[in-house]
Structure 1
Amino acid sequence: MEPIDPAFMALLDEEYEKFKVTDSHSLLKKHLTQEVFDKIKHRVTAEGATLHDCIKSGLANPDSNIGLYAADAESYILFQELFDPVIDEYHGGFEPSQFHPISDFGDPIDLGDLNELGNYVLSTRVRCARSIEGYPFNPLLSSEMYAELEQDVGYALEDLEGDLSGKYRSLKDISSEEQEELLEKHLLFKQGDRFLEAAGASRFWPEGRGIFLNENNTLVVWVNEEDHMRIISMQEGGNIGEVYERFVRAVTILGERLPFSSSERLGFLSFCPTNLGTAIRASVHIRLPLLGEDRQTLEETAAKFNLQVRGTSGEHSEAEDYVFDISNRRRLGLTEMEALKEMYDGIREIIQLEIDMEEGNSQCRKKSY
């Protein structure tokens, strides 16, 4: 690999100096110290990834929570002085000496219906990020690579059978009107996220992008959105056992047909360091009117179970009509089943708290008469 051009290095130095004086609270700002910056700024991966490829979104968006993306799998090793402390802090403690455990999906029957105590959960989904070996991540993908990836994944999806079978469609073949309909149903991704765009995730759009849907829209696969693949099992209501069982079958079959990128230490690898290890995000859309008025209590309760609370339109969005998207935060250093159980237990506790608050209000109203 040729050394980095001096003019490029001068520009990187200039951008970093500007970033240092911003009022950013991102993990990038916290851990990219001058010492670390000087140590790793000249490095280039075999695929051609530079430090700038990994931090350019955080530089452009000081309000990022993380601000760091891996441009390829090797970035996690070559720029480990930056990635390791970010990974450690985000995942609640995962030191450089630790190794992600072997996959264990457990038995989905151990997870029940979250609406057993009342109809609070509107919908449930379990999804994961997967990258394909032999390809870099978004900032380094060429237009030809996007097309090749789409073809590889498309062939694998054709092998899904039974309730998993469905149809893959390229994004460029879907009308703007239908895209809007799919977006409203939370079935499709969209272009325009400034954090991903700054990271280089929207290049050559819509080349190589597409969506797979099974017959009843309970299995969805996104191709080349943020990651090479997002595999999603979803349905209305709170039966997380059913959702997870479908998810496990789909991921297992696709993993037999595609070489998923992984490492012994970090588990499955993806574009964002928040999606490592299991790379699983199990979430619910849940209506919580009382806890919605007491956001601090909601956040504190979620934190006990390492859960993340946000609006239903994704990160950085607001909750509408007291409907929240709550999901597991930890994905690294625990098995798939442990991640699901953490989310399951946390949601049950949150629901019980909402019920207790309802009963408390009811008692207060009775006393007032």
Structure 2
Amino acid sequence: GQHSSVTHIFCYCFAAWSVAGCGASRLSDLGALKQASPTTKKMWSHQRKWRKFKSPLEFPLEAKYRPILESTFPIDPMSRFNLKRGSPQEEFPYLRGNHTLMGEILTLHLYTRQFNRATESGVIFDDIIRPGLEDPGKPTEPGQVKSVGCLAGDAQSYILFCDFFDRIIEAYHDYKMTSTQESDFNSGNLKGGEDFDAAYAVSCEIRAARCVEDFCFPMHCSRGERRALLSLAQKALTKLSEEFPGKLYSMEQLSQDGDGKGLSMMSPSPAMCKIGVARDWPSARAVWVSENGQLVILVNFEDHLKLECTRTDANLQLAFDCICANLLRLEKLYKNLRHTFVWKEHLGWVVSSPAEVGTALKASVTVRLQHLPGHKRLENVLDRLRLHMIPTDKPGLYIVTNTPTIGFTEVGVVQLVVDGVKLLISMEKRLENHGGIDDLVPTHKLSGYTDTQLHV
């Protein structure tokens, strides 16, 4: 046993020490070894043999604490799965005819690097790119942008799959991932958001999304997580109603005919159904509506929270004031509940779609344009302004909104829309009078935190 081995070791060491004490201190020397007695030679040979085949030592404390130490090592999440998958070459998706950014950027080499990775909550790369495979998109019209074709399953997705997401963010936002994102909720820094020409600017809207730390994003979250998020939202929005009157409506309680106040159970969009965001609909979904009807907060839709401020005039300043004030209130209320919104230094506010990280804010103005949409330089102008234009169901009405959400502060994003819409209106007026617009074409609006003046 262990005690017998220790006893033998002790005897060998004691014998060697005794021989050295009797004058055989040079047993390593060949001459001294020859002069040694047969018993000493036998012991020496046995000792050399033991040294050659010495077994590793085991310490009682090591055996006791090894399981505890090993439990602290991070476990590779992929080791928990037994996915019946082939090689990356066999699993690489069919991308011909795919009109998303994901379809443009994804290569077999990039897919292979992400293939055997999984976040701690179990998100794998195939989950990330599934939205672009379920909805491959269509060829874009002038002034429109491609969809990203991917979603994050949790905040860690942006870190673990950064090789892919960084490329998507750089391509969509025309932004290099080399600097830190800044934030500015001082709506007083916005210039000119209240004086659009009412003959052209019809209405406006600002949307802002937030996701809560330590919860999976809607594409991947469980029923329990979704219900826990709704419980948090109920507590926070109850407190919010004390400062900014409003009411929370559960989607499960709303009938198909509505509640008599203009609300009805909203059906999920086909896109939401395809990507899994609408699982278990309408369970644990809710909508909070302010008393004046201008602010709506969606709970557990595309993101954990989405604030929408809509105005029937084009006063973007007031809409921005409302969004900033209530975002700050909600951030404080969630912190009091020991939960924070997801923020990363290089990404800013982190939400499900890489098309919205940074500020997670979209500002839009509905504009009446008759001549400019058909102009040959429109696409180039919108690209320089960092805007895109979406046609509505009504002829001559277009929604103009910002393309980038990262690389600018919240004020900077809304300022892009303010300056850009005013320039588009100036161009429309020029075309109405049969004039040219070449001298109005702006310089490219660069990402960053310094103002670039437009040539209006």
Does the aligned pair in 2 maintain the 1:16–1:59 contact within 8 Å?
no
Pairing 1:281–2:281 present: no
User: Quick one: which of 239, 261, 268 aligns to 1:159?
Assistant: 239
Show the counterpart of 2:63: none
Q: CA deviation at 1:206?
A: 0.6
Query: Which of residues 320, 328, 333 is equivalent to 2:394?
Result: 320
1:232 aligns with 2:232: no
Answer yes or no: is 1:84 the counterpart of 2:84. no
Which residue in 2 is equivalent to 1:329? 403
Shift of residue 289, structure 1, vs aligned partner:
2.1
Q: How far 1:68 moved relative to its partner?
A: 0.9
Distance apart, 1:193 and its partner CA: 2.5
Say yes or no: does 1:169 pair with 2:226. Answer: no
CA-CA distance at 1:197 after TM superposition: 2.4
User: Does residue 10 of structure 1 match 2:10?
Assistant: no
Q: Which amino acid aligns with 1:191?
A: P
What corresponds to 1:58 in structure 2? 132
Partner of 2:421: 347
The CA deviation at 1:120 is 1.6
- Residues 165, 215 of structure 1: 8 Å contact kept: yes
Deviations 1:135-187 (A, max 9, x none): 1112321112111111211211112257732001011212223399968xxx9
Q: Does 1:191 align with 2:268?
A: yes
Matched, 1:93 2:167: no
Q: Shift of the alpha carbon at 1:323?
A: 1.4
Aligned to 1:251: 327
- TM-score, normalisation: structure 1: 0.86
Query: Any idea what SS the aligned residue of 2:228 has?
Result: helix
Asked which structure has the greater RCO (Cα within 8 Å, sep 6+), the reply is 1
Residues in 2 aligned to 1:284 and 1:207: alpha-carbon distance in whole angstroms: 33
Deviations 1:263-285 (Å, cap 9, x if unpaired)?
Answer: 11101111100110111101112
Provide the C-alpha distance between the structure 2 equivalents of 1:202 and 1:295, rounded to a whole number of angstroms: 40
Distance 1:129 1:107, change over 3 A: closer
Post-superposition offset of 1:189: 5.9
Q: How many residues align?
A: 345
Amino acid across the alignment from 1:346? G
1:26 matched residue in structure 2: 100
Tell me the distance in 2 between the aligned counterparts of 1:34 and 1:180: 54
Whole-Å separation in 2 of the counterparts to 1:53 and 1:61: 14
CA 1:139 to 1:117, structure 2 compared with 1: closer, same or farther past 3 Å? closer
- CA, structure 1 residues 116+80, in 2 after alignment: closer, same or farther (shift >3 Å)? closer
Give the secondary-structure state (helix, strand or coil) at the position aligned to 1:123. strand
**What SS does structure 2 have at the residue aligned with 1:324?**
strand
Matched with 2:201 is 121
Deviation for aligned residue 1:94: 2.2
Pairing partner for 1:131 from 200, 211, 227: 211
Describe the SS at the equivalent of 1:160. helix
In structure 2, what is the equivalent of residue 69 of structure 1?
151
Residue 298 of structure 1 and its aligned partner are, at CA, apart by: 3.7
In the TM superposition, 1:30-41 aligns within 5 A as 30-41=104-115
Residue pairs, 1:104-115, within 5 angstroms? 104-108=184-188, 110-113=190-193
- Structure 1 contact 298–350 (Cα < 8 Å) conserved: no
Q: What's the secondary structure of 1:321's corresponding residue? A: coil
d(CA) in 1 for partners of 2:260, 2:134: 28
Between 23-32 and 123-132, report the one with greater CA deviation. 23-32
Q: How many percent identity over aligned positions?
A: 27
Aligned equivalents of 1:15, 1:79: Cα separation in 2: 17
Give the direction of change, closer, same or farther, for the CA distance of 1:333–1:179 in structure 2 (3 Å limit). Answer: farther
Structure 2, unmatched stretches of 5+, are: 1-76, 139-146, 335-339, 436-456
Q: Provide structure 1 residue ranges, at least 5 long, that are not aligned to the other structure.
A: 313-318, 362-369
Q: Calculate the TM-score normalised by the size of structure 2.
A: 0.71
SS in 2 for 1:177: coil
CA separation in 2, counterparts of 1:290 and 1:343? 20
| Alpha-carbon distance in 1 for matches of 2:86, 2:258 | 46
Read off the aligned partner of 2:391 and give its amino acid letter: G
How far residue 67 of structure 1 moved from its aligned partner, in angstroms, is 0.9
Where does residue 30 of structure 2 map in the other structure?
none
Q: State the AA in 1 paired with 2:125.
A: L
Larger radius of gyration: 2
* Aligned equivalent of 2:350: 269
